[in-house]
Structure 1
Amino acid sequence: MQVLITGATGFIGRHVAARLRADGHTVHEGVSPRHGRRDAGQVPMDFARDTDPAAWLPRLAGIDAVVNAVGVLRDSPGRPIDALHRDTPIALFQACAQAGVRRVVQISALGVDRSETRYARTKRGADTFLLGPVQGAAPAPSACVLRPSIVFGRGGASSALFMNLARLPVVVLPRPVLQARVQPVAVHDLADAVAALLGPVQDRQGIIECAGPEAVPMAGLVASLRAQCGHGPAHVAALPDALSRLSARLGDRVPASPWCSESLAMLGSDNTADPAPLRSLLGREAVHYRDLVARAWRQP
């Protein structure tokens, strides 16, 4: 198939692109205008501005499937979260319906249906639109929303943070973050899930929650990563709640900081789901968090 991947040079997007090429698909990489030299097969697009379906129709000529892998943690002047997560994806989905695109896969995030952070609301807005009736679709694209837990692999910002924490002899994090349970998903498993959805057998629609085989508290995840790297146990301490909130509010004042009140709210909440849907989609067990270093971090 001819597949357009938005966010194709990002952490998740580039793994999806490599996996789809391995399956024989022709991949058209959507890239930001801030991207440097463009290679053959790359399509310029600006998620901060392309909020009109008309902007997308020329890019969708001859395209069979679209994978949206664009995402940001927080709002900034250059990367407005309302546009990147909701307004531009909705315009893209409308254009997909008008252009006759057969399949759309939206990569969202686990827990956006039960959170009121701006990140969750904007992601949820695009998810809801994609799965609802699209005016003028004849026929409507077959649509699927993947909602993964924390995605782990080399090149991921959160993965690098976890690996850096795993190297420290003393780990100090807010208590809610230490206690929050997660089910990390190896980025290669997520790419395989997208490939399965674009394969000849799968015709799944709706929301698929993607979670690893077993839930683990964040403190346990960092301890496991540390053990996988050959280190002994670290000393773990909880940052007092007042200091946690203060540090997050300070981060709110620094647009480039990944730490802010929203990230505290998201990381301090459980991010778990039934592992069966991902296992069914892959046709095998997903990578366990105890194997993430060898099977995700150390893999290209």
Structure 2
Amino acid sequence: GARRPDDGRRRAPAPEWVRADFADLTDADAWRPLLEGVDAVVNCVGVLQDGAGDSTSIAHERGPRALIAACEAAGVRRLVHVSAVGADDDAGTAYARSKRVTETLLEASRLDWAVVRPSLVVARGVFGGTALIRALAAFPGFIPVVGGDQAFRPVAMADVCEVVVRLLAPGAPARVRLDLAGPQSLTLADLLRAYRGWLGFAPAPVVGVPALLAAPALAIGDLLGRLGWPSPLRTTSLRQMNHDVGGDADAAERLLGLRTRSLDQHLSEQAAAVQDRWHARLYFVRPLAIALLSVFWIGTGLVTFGPGWKGAVAILHEGGYGAVAPWIAGGGAVVDIALGLALLVRRFTARAAIGMALVTAGYLVAATLTLPQYWLDPLGPWLKTLPGLALCLFVAATDERR
């Protein structure tokens, strides 16, 4: 089940995919067609923080409440819920409180439920916090970190999946909560050093970032999340890390006979490829590219309407556009500003970047036909657009988040 099953079907064609968006499934009746012929349900839905398109209430309370009621009505007895270590009221976050609500709803139900509460989950593919960890580990020259002494017991995604599979087997333990963690206890600083080595970069010192300096970045992350740019650089992430991300290293072996692998084992099983190094190094470059492109396009439009108006019209007259020169200058400025603003809207970013590339190519064709001499200008007004064109293509090509 996925919000965008077509995307999943292209990447993994073997399973049967259905559309299942919790935002549309807050009533038990809505679940009925999805549960026909189903013997068990695994719920992996979760969001870090409220924002554009994300709701902790829907993901952790209203959606699960409807799902549990629907399972009871349809006779689906088994429900395995993937929660998280530290999902309790003491964490002081809406994420933890609402995650705990899901567990409470299960405990009050008639289902044969099981709750899996993993510590930090590590996998070859990364998203969210684990992507940030790789990016920080790959930072040039040094490794920045807020705190650094937070304790983790990373657990491999393969072990999380194996636990879920074992909990779905006949005779598996029911009505249990399982804190799932790896055997290796590491501080955040240790984790960053391990990933830097795995990525193949030379060792670098870990440099602590004072909380006062980190606070503005987290506030910006919270704001961007509400605008549709979810990021692990948010207050919830830091609070959860400072609260509890450890877990019980022996619980899976006691309950299911599974010995989880250490981070060293996990990393040794999958050597880093060039794609991993690129992703880690480009993690901070991409938002910088988006910000600079937006500033450049909005700025050129505003300059054209302001102090650069006479110059812009004069150049167009030089190119032989005559009476329509002011209209071309004004229209071009409007397009520049519109594309610069659209780039900042998450769902339009890739299309805006492609639009910028096409508009740039159009500018260059028209400029070459009417003002070819500027290709030889020592300040390079036409040549300088080529790196901008490449940057637009970079932003468009790296739009995928997961």
1:156 aligned to which of 116, 119, 126: 126
1:216-227 aligned at under 5 Å gives the runs 216-227=186-197
Structure with bigger strand share is: 1
Q: CA deviation at 1:273?
A: 2.1
**Pairing 1:248–2:248 present:** no
1:278 aligned to which of 252, 265, 271: 252
Question: Cα deviations across residues 243-262 of structure 1 (Å, max 9, x unaligned)?
Answer: 11121112121121411221
Matched residue, 2:143: 171
Matched residue, 1:215: 185
Q: Is the 8 A contact 1:68 1:107 kept in 2?
A: yes
Please give the secondary structure, in 1, of the residue aligned with 2:243: coil
1:125 aligned to which of 101, 107, 125: 101
Deviates more, 1:243-252 or 1:267-276: 267-276
The residue type paired with residue 28 of structure 2 is P
Higher relative contact order (CA 8 A, sep 6+): 1
Matched residue, 1:63: 38
**Pairing 1:92–2:92 present:** no
Instruction: Say if 1:270 and 1:126 are closer, same or farther in 2 by CA, change over 3 A.
Output: closer
1:293 aligned to which of 252, 263, 267: 267
Q: CA deviation at 1:282?
A: 5.0
Q: CA deviation at 1:89?
A: 1.1
Question: Cα deviations across residues 179-231 of structure 1 (Å, max 9, x unaligned)?
Answer: 11011110000000001101134223221100110221100111122233444
Distance 2:198 2:8 in 1: 38
Q: CA deviation at 1:33?
A: 4.7
Distance 1:293 1:192 in 2: 18
Distance 1:297 1:199 in 2: 32
1:41-120 aligned at under 5 Å gives the runs 41-113=16-88, 114-120=90-96
The residue type paired with residue 261 of structure 1 is T
Instruction: Say if 1:296 and 1:188 are closer, same or farther in 2 by CA, change over 3 A.
Output: farther
Instruction: Say if 1:274 and 1:296 are closer, same or farther in 2 by CA, change over 3 A.
Output: farther
Deviates more, 1:67-76 or 1:201-210: 201-210
Listed as ranges, the gaps of 5+ residues in structure 1 are 1-29, 135-139
Question: Cα deviations across residues 249-287 of structure 1 (Å, max 9, x unaligned)?
Answer: 121211214112212212333311221112334524211
Distance 1:286 1:216 in 2: 15
Distance 2:26 2:126 in 1: 27
Q: Is the 8 A contact 2:146 2:208 kept in 1?
A: yes
Please give the secondary structure, in 2, of the residue aligned with 1:48: helix
Please give the secondary structure, in 1, of the residue aligned with 2:166: helix
Q: Is the 8 A contact 2:142 2:205 kept in 1?
A: yes
Distance 1:282 1:151 in 2: 19
**Percent identity for Structure 1 against Structure 2:** 34
Matched residue, 2:305: none
Deviates more, 1:60-69 or 1:246-255: 246-255
Relative to the length of structure 1, the TM-score reads: 0.80
Question: Cα deviations across residues 43-102 of structure 1 (Å, max 9, x unaligned)?
Answer: 212211311111112211121100001112221232222101221011101110111102
**Pairing 1:263–2:237 present:** yes
Q: Is the 8 A contact 1:131 1:206 kept in 2?
A: no
Q: Is the 8 A contact 2:31 2:70 kept in 1?
A: yes
Listed as ranges, the gaps of 5+ residues in structure 2 are 274-402
2:157 aligned to which of 187, 192, 195: 187
Instruction: Say if 1:265 and 1:279 are closer, same or farther in 2 by CA, change over 3 A.
Output: same
The residue type paired with residue 92 of structure 1 is L
Distance 2:134 2:221 in 1: 21
Q: CA RMSD in A?
A: 2.2
In the comparison of the two structures, how many residue pairs are matched? 262
Distance 1:244 1:164 in 2: 16
Q: Is the 8 A contact 1:192 1:282 kept in 2?
A: no
The residue type paired with residue 247 of structure 2 is A
Deviates more, 1:79-88 or 1:266-275: 266-275
Distance 1:202 1:120 in 2: 27
Distance 1:127 1:53 in 2: 18
Q: Is the 8 A contact 2:51 2:230 kept in 1?
A: no
The residue type paired with residue 78 of structure 1 is G
Q: Is the 8 A contact 2:25 2:63 kept in 1?
A: yes
Deviates more, 1:236-245 or 1:252-261: 252-261
